Structure 1
Amino acid sequence: MSNKILVRRAAVLGAGVMGAQIAAHLTNAGVDTVLFDLPAKDGNPNGIVDKAIAGLAKLSPAPLADKALAGRLTAANYETGLEQLAGCDLIVEAIAERMDWKQDLYRKIAPHVASHAVLASNTSGLGINKLAEVLPEELRHRFCGVHFFNPPRYMHLAELIPARSTDAAVLEGLETFLTTTLGKGVVIAKDTPNFIGNRIGVFSMLAAMHHTGQFKLGFDTVDALTGPAIGRPKSATYRTADVVGLDTMAHVIKTMADTLPDDPWHQYFKAPKWLAGLVEKGALGAKTGAGFYTKRGKDILVLDLKAQDYRASAGELDADVAALLKERDPAKKFAALRASAHPQAKFLWACFRDTFHYSAFHLKDIAETARDVDFAMRWGYGWSVGPFESWQAAGWKQVAEWIAEDIVAGEAMSNATLPDWVFDGRDGVHSTDGSYSPGRDTMVPRSSNPVYARQRFPDALLGEKFSQGRTVFENDGVRMWADEGDDLAVVSFKTKMNTVSDQVLDGLQEAITRAEKEFAGLVIWQAKEPFSAGADLSGALGLLQANDIKGFDAMVANFQRTSQRIKYSQVPVVAAVRGLALGGGCEFQMHAARTVFGLESYVGLVEAGVGLLPAGGGLKELAVRASDAAGPNGDVFAELKTVFETIAMAKVAGSALEAKSLQLARKDDVVVFNAFELLHVAKAQARALAESGYRPPLPARRIQVAGDVGIATFKMLLVNMLEGRFISEHDYEIATRIATVLCGGEVDRGSLVDEDWLLKLEREHFVALAQMPKTQARVAHMLQTGKPLRN
């Protein structure tokens, strides 16, 4: 029996930035959600919440996966709405970080909470046991902390913090809900200030700030050193502080000082002079337009402490240090950093050393295992590897000796000794048996919560290897594989960005042939995002520049043949999409028997951006769908309006839900919130189709088209846009040809055509556009800059 929590309805208390976005994400996931706040002083008592809901549409990145979902949120206030809590199965409190305010609210709501409901506090660092003290006895075992990271839709980490009284079954049920329904990576943290992510993350920022002063580096230089160069996000250290808000940053540091009096690093838990100075001046970062950085016109300027003013941001890495960071072998890299006399290298070694030291010293107090710390930093702070993984990869024993030497020499930030377990002869904290737990003094395997059986390839930690299945067939473009004894096969691309090359086209056709003979179904799934960035443009451009029009036409025909092969396969082909699915990648999923999308799927037929039109069967498929939707004597043109605009403007859906409203996905396609569960769900869909006696659709031989009248109507729209200078002459040319294919060519309105007719039209117009100099300029520009050219 699994400990399921059935969440029919949820409430979020607090309509501030975090609360409103948590409510938005619950709504994304199909959970009926009520958002509460204080009653408004005048007018509608729910005014504060209404304003917060309206504000969701303006935020970027978008908290709502589809703007229309804002209308599904229910607004309520603590004076007139508390009886609504009785119908809620999950209540997430997300008000300001003040113990007294939170406890007052708990006293107020407790009488209204249902006897089975779970109450969770979204706090970033307050004591969970202390919060629980004011709850009635019967509610305490259903209370815990759940800490979402900002922005909640996109950040994978959710920290679960049990109180002493939390029921184990409640915790397991909530972990399951967070993982599958909301798509989170859950880490269980102990009830210590700032939990895991912020405890280590804020310390690593404080260490970087301390060493900025010690090695006299500019803020922009530190950001160049602590960003992608070491596998961290672009916002690095000071840009991150600006985004978070320097007042918030100062508050978090003060909280550490107040709540961790015995921490051996306590003397560093104060805002550096310059941070405090900026806060005093009201320069709080991005929200006030100035912090460590400011914008003047288009230029980004950085604060220069010596000049007490902003200067142009250069932030150059020293060439030698940059070369050293490119070293692939972590052991060599760390040895070089420690040996270097360059201030930039010394800064980096010092930051790594102090973060390793801090993480090891506190591991036993803050987390069950080293795995929890590494995942918290990867999922919550966007580090490509966690602190313990970095240390282990660089040679555990050697790095431990160096840290110990620096502590003795007084160079480390604290003279606290490393724990004994660091030196017990181990080579690291992660192994195939699990991850080290100082509390239990043993290696602990991954969680046995049944929800994790849904992850065939979970996020792998250093040293973890998952079976790649047996190879059924492989060429330079794809690998087809299956698990031992499984009657479903998987095919994955091997190209850069999973683009579609000739080898991918041939490989897919071969994979389908084999699946028809040997398997019950086939899933197209990529081990790494994106699903596919579309056709291999450089190969196509090569054929054009060599003036090999025949070869070019053959390539397009092969593309269409592959899409049709997917559609008419005798076994179900299911596409498992996450990340980008552009152009040909989008067309493949349109032809699959079903598509399973990860929520963060960015889908689009973007060919117009490079001066072309979709020709892998995408326009044909949309024409078929329009004909089906219109019915025998219906208005096909009405069904084409949305898709014409989507394609002519090369729109990309901002989520899988938006892909449905743009008609690039079908109503019955499935959306999965946890990317690590995508393969599991896609295989389940393929199996369900196979088990129900799957047959491919019958060939579409009577497709009703909008014909010449449809083309003329679209052209009128385009002429107005051309005359208003909204589009260029070449845009007009491309859009007219898109309209021509969608409407079935210059035939009478209501004519019946077949798929071959539409595919031939696609090919003709695609090849014609490809030969135009302006299109070739667009393709070349995209290949060089990665940005579209408007000519």
Structure 2
Amino acid sequence: MSKKLLVRRAAVLGAGVMGAQIAAHLTNAGVDTVLFDLAAKEGDPNGVVTKAIANVAKLSPAPLADKSLAERITPANYETGLELLRGCDLVIEAIAERMDWKQDLYRKIAPFVPAHAVLASNTSGLGINALADVLPEELRHRFLGVHFFNPPRYMHLAELIPAKMTDREVLDGLETFLTTTLGKGVVIAKDTPNFIGNRIGVFSMLAAMHHTERLGLGFDTVDSLTGPAIGRPKSATYRTADVVGLDTMAHVIKTMADTLPDDPWHRHFKAPVWLTGLVEKGALGQKTGAGFYTKRGKDILVLDVAARDYRPTAGDLDPDVAAILKERDPAKKFAALRASEHPQAQFLWSVFRDTFHYSAYHLQDIADTARDVDFAMRWGYGWSQGPFETWQAAGWQQVAQWIAEDVAAGKTMADAPLPAWVAARNGAHEPAGSFSPAQNTAVARSSNPVYARQRFPDALLGEQFAPGKTLFENDGVRLWADDDDIAVVSFKTKMHTVSDQVLDGLQEAIGIAERDFGGLVIWQPKEPFSAGADLAGALGLLQAGNVAGFEAMVENFQRTSQRIKYALVPVVAAVRGLALGGGCEFQMHAARSVFALESYVGLVEAGVGLLPAGGGLKEFAVRASQAAGPGGDVFAQLKAPFESVAMAKVSTSAFEAKSLKLARESDVVTFNSHELLHVAKANARALAEAGYRPPLPARNIAVAGDVGIASLQMMLINMLEGMFISPHDYEIATRIATIMCGGMVDRGSVVDEEWLLKLERQHFVELAQMPKTQERIAHMLKTGKPLRN
């Protein structure tokens, strides 16, 4: 068994954009982190780092999962702070991409790095073995490359690049730490320029630029072709270049030209004239306000090379090409793209073909297996499928033949032949594993024990993971189990919304779990956890005038929440992605919730003119009474949750869900969403093993009453008079306040749960019948956006 990498304290060297964000993410994960940079020329010697930490708290998307974490990062400098390194278990160097600067820093820090610590260079493409040359002998076996993608909190990919002398247990230990503690998808890359992700990713952008020029297409047209239409991010090609920075893009291309002189595609490793022209003009993309695109007023304009000026974006897909891209069968789609004479179709075929060609030719140099290449492109570049998966889905041998024909006809960007292994196989992936050129066979997934925590890892083309044994199923849910004592229930509805079938199915699932299992986990195979109640069904009942049916649905919702809370086995909610409305209320009633870090939680009903009525407001009142204790100030406990609900706030992380009081302090946060089910089951099992009993029914709930309602109304009146909210917002928020404070009763009165649930139902049904609320629901269903009426 490989030795664990124990990381109590880490250091990050370099407080630039990447270094500061890596430090932020380590801090998110509960790692005590020291951030270093040069000593400031005047004032506080740590001033450079202090400023960088302050800046991190302002960035969007936020590198910190909670703003308050900024103060946990320890600032330090290389002149007075190097002694702090002696207490670190992991040191990540993240200074500028200059070999000489990095090596100078290594010489300086080497005497202070403890004998057990791991030293890693966060570089996007410099030689790891060359960097290691200056290290003392005893440190070399604990040194390797780690390449985080930007922004490090959100990008799943981390490339690990061992040097020749890196110990295997160091590599395995860091892979485990990155996977579980930081939530990353790790690929092992070879020590070649730009490693895997940027080698293939930048090449595919160069191919797109080459064929843009060759076919005379507009930059906006290319972005229409290379975005969601082919399973890639909305930023596509040229918008991505603008975001990355055109100077950075030009630098990366130059690095490829300088470091890959023998690459058969070398003549294409140069920035097109128009890219160089933009850089010389200082139009570097998003950071300077102009690049391939610019904004004038509200209009987005795109560069027109011929006119040497910006024009309004058009960039529409040709209808025939759009129809080809909608074809579900990849083999038919690729055949049609290749056969079409339309420049847009020819562009797509050419870029795919050249990327396949390049990936196959260089696989042996850059990676151990085709799996690493495909995951690098998915996790680092947001492609829905990697190049080998795309090729294989389109018909491996047929596409290989077409590539060979195009090579022979001089149509490809290089005349290098496809490697021999391509013709000898029917694809890069098969049930036994993914192809490794070095071993000339398919190789199974990593045997690192960390991956035993992933019951359903990210699946490659053709990979199947046993779905577990179905115990019960209806149109709303599936209850299933492996050969253990914890059952799992998953929703089958679109966006995992809560329908009557989900409500009935959950109640049935809890009954089966109580009878036959130690615990139950509510978990979805894919995000989101749940987008809340089925609004369309609810609006249908209202428009048909079926108020009784509508009220019965609300009552059933509440009954399901209470069934979760008072189940005789622990029910654990495993949340990732959106948990809105009823989805949020379900996790509030669970014995425990386990959140993926990227959980966006909120009671958002006010946005559609309603209020939470699945027991959520009742639960806030119960928690406030419990937190205040006998004779305590209940109202003080209600202010934060009231604001969260009345303003329909949604957390930007699991930690923020706790500060908004939408999650409990005792709830668990896990960083790798592929480990969520494992952690949730472990929590359910631990509760069961400890002799779990549900809470006793809450019968003595002290409430804030009429005084609490009046206090919250004063706040609302100020917002109404300042025109921050509409009269209908005021109406909704007043009703929310009324329920959370226990109704128009004396302050300090004692009520039970049924009283609060009845208040929820009453106000929910009354609101639902109001025309302004029905307008809001209809608008949300039609546009997906809230209406402020």
* 1:103 is aligned to 2:103: yes
Separation in 2, partners of 1:718, 1:442: 68
> Which residue in 2 is equivalent to 1:774?
772
> Which residue in 1 is equivalent to 2:116?
116
> Which residue in 2 is equivalent to 1:534?
532
C-alpha deviation, 1:487, in angstroms: 1.5
> Which residue in 2 is equivalent to 1:474?
473
Equivalent residue of 2:306, what SS?
coil
- Residue identity opposite 1:453 in structure 2: A
- Residue identity opposite 1:129 in structure 2: N
> Which residue in 1 is equivalent to 2:423?
423
Q: Deviations over 1:36-85 (max 9, x none)?
A: 00011111111110110000111111000000000100000000100000
Separation in 1, partners of 2:499, 2:150: 38
C-alpha deviation, 1:323, in angstroms: 0.8
Structure 1: tracts of 5 or more residues without a match:
none
Separation in 1, partners of 2:341, 2:469: 50
Equivalent positions of 1:268-347 (< 5 A) are 268-347=268-347
C-alpha deviation, 1:489, in angstroms: 0.6
Equivalent positions of 1:668-687 (< 5 A) are 668-687=666-685
> Which residue in 2 is equivalent to 1:569?
567
- Residue identity opposite 2:210 in structure 1: H
Equivalent residue of 1:416, what SS?
coil
> Which residue in 2 is equivalent to 1:247?
247
Separation in 2, partners of 1:118, 1:307: 54
- Residue identity opposite 2:762 in structure 1: E
Equivalent of 1:656, from 654, 657, 662? 654
Separation in 2, partners of 1:774, 1:304: 47
- Residue identity opposite 1:703 in structure 2: I
Separation in 1, partners of 2:32, 2:484: 37
Aligned residues: 789
Say which is worse superposed, 259-268 or 721-730, in terms of deviation. 721-730
- Residue identity opposite 2:520 in structure 1: L
Q: Deviations over 1:534-559 (max 9, x none)?
A: 00100011111111111100000000
Q: Deviations over 1:641-661 (max 9, x none)?
A: 101111100000000000011
Please give the TM-score of this superposition, normalised by the length of structure 2.
1.00
- Residue identity opposite 2:600 in structure 1: Y
Separation in 2, partners of 1:419, 1:719: 73
C-alpha deviation, 1:508, in angstroms: 0.3
Equivalent residue of 1:570, what SS?
coil
Separation in 2, partners of 1:58, 1:666: 26
Separation in 2, partners of 1:185, 1:123: 17
C-alpha deviation, 1:315, in angstroms: 1.3
Equivalent positions of 1:413-492 (< 5 A) are 413-424=413-424, 426-483=425-482, 485-492=483-490
> Which residue in 1 is equivalent to 2:85?
85
Separation in 2, partners of 1:786, 1:73: 39
Equivalent of 2:506, from 505, 508, 516? 508
> Which residue in 2 is equivalent to 1:385?
385
Separation in 2, partners of 1:302, 1:570: 61
Separation in 1, partners of 2:319, 2:484: 52
- Residue identity opposite 1:454 in structure 2: R
Separation in 1, partners of 2:608, 2:38: 51
C-alpha deviation, 1:440, in angstroms: 1.1
> Which residue in 2 is equivalent to 1:362?
362
> Which residue in 2 is equivalent to 1:46?
46
Separation in 1, partners of 2:673, 2:462: 22
C-alpha deviation, 1:124, in angstroms: 0.0
Separation in 2, partners of 1:14, 1:594: 39
> Which residue in 1 is equivalent to 2:176?
176
- Residue identity opposite 1:779 in structure 2: I
Q: Deviations over 1:396-452 (max 9, x none)?
A: 00000000000000000000000001111x110101100000011111100000000
- Residue identity opposite 1:279 in structure 2: V
Q: Deviations over 1:698-728 (max 9, x none)?
A: 0000000000000011111111111111111
- Residue identity opposite 1:470 in structure 2: K
- Residue identity opposite 1:291 in structure 2: G
Separation in 1, partners of 2:510, 2:422: 52
Equivalent residue of 1:637, what SS?
helix
C-alpha deviation, 1:463, in angstroms: 1.1
Equivalent residue of 2:694, what SS?
coil
Separation in 1, partners of 2:742, 2:2: 54
> Which residue in 2 is equivalent to 1:194?
194
> Which residue in 1 is equivalent to 2:749?
751
> Which residue in 2 is equivalent to 1:735?
733
Separation in 2, partners of 1:222, 1:476: 42
* 1:153 is aligned to 2:156: no
C-alpha deviation, 1:300, in angstroms: 0.5
Say which is worse superposed, 377-386 or 305-314, in terms of deviation. 305-314
Q: Deviations over 1:579-635 (max 9, x none)?
A: 000000000000000000000000000001111100000000010000000001100
Separation in 2, partners of 1:607, 1:9: 42
Separation in 1, partners of 2:464, 2:655: 33
Equivalent residue of 1:154, what SS?
coil
Equivalent residue of 1:652, what SS?
coil
- Residue identity opposite 2:472 in structure 1: F
Structure 1 residue ranges, 4+ long, deviating more than 2 angstroms after superposition: none
C-alpha deviation, 1:354, in angstroms: 0.1
Separation in 1, partners of 2:547, 2:706: 28
C-alpha deviation, 1:21, in angstroms: 0.3
Equivalent residue of 1:158, what SS?
strand
> Which residue in 2 is equivalent to 1:204?
204
- Residue identity opposite 1:23 in structure 2: A
* 1:591 is aligned to 2:594: no
> Which residue in 1 is equivalent to 2:542?
544
Separation in 1, partners of 2:195, 2:612: 50
Separation in 1, partners of 2:92, 2:514: 49
Separation in 1, partners of 2:297, 2:780: 27
Separation in 1, partners of 2:788, 2:48: 43
Equivalent residue of 1:523, what SS?
strand
RMSD of aligned C-alpha atoms?
0.5
> Which residue in 1 is equivalent to 2:494?
496
Q: Deviations over 1:484-526 (max 9, x none)?
A: x211110000000000001000000000011111111100000
* 1:238 is aligned to 2:260: no
> Which residue in 1 is equivalent to 2:141?
141
Separation in 2, partners of 1:561, 1:546: 24
Separation in 2, partners of 1:453, 1:549: 50
Equivalent positions of 1:3-82 (< 5 A) are 3-82=3-82
> Which residue in 2 is equivalent to 1:705?
703
Separation in 2, partners of 1:176, 1:54: 30
* 1:394 is aligned to 2:414: no
Structure 2: tracts of 5 or more residues without a match:
none
C-alpha deviation, 1:27, in angstroms: 0.2
Equivalent of 1:696, from 681, 687, 694? 694
- Residue identity opposite 1:659 in structure 2: A
Q: Deviations over 1:552-589 (max 9, x none)?
A: 00000000000000000011100000000000000000
C-alpha deviation, 1:2, in angstroms: 3.3
- Residue identity opposite 1:373 in structure 2: V
- Residue identity opposite 2:638 in structure 1: L
Separation in 2, partners of 1:503, 1:121: 52
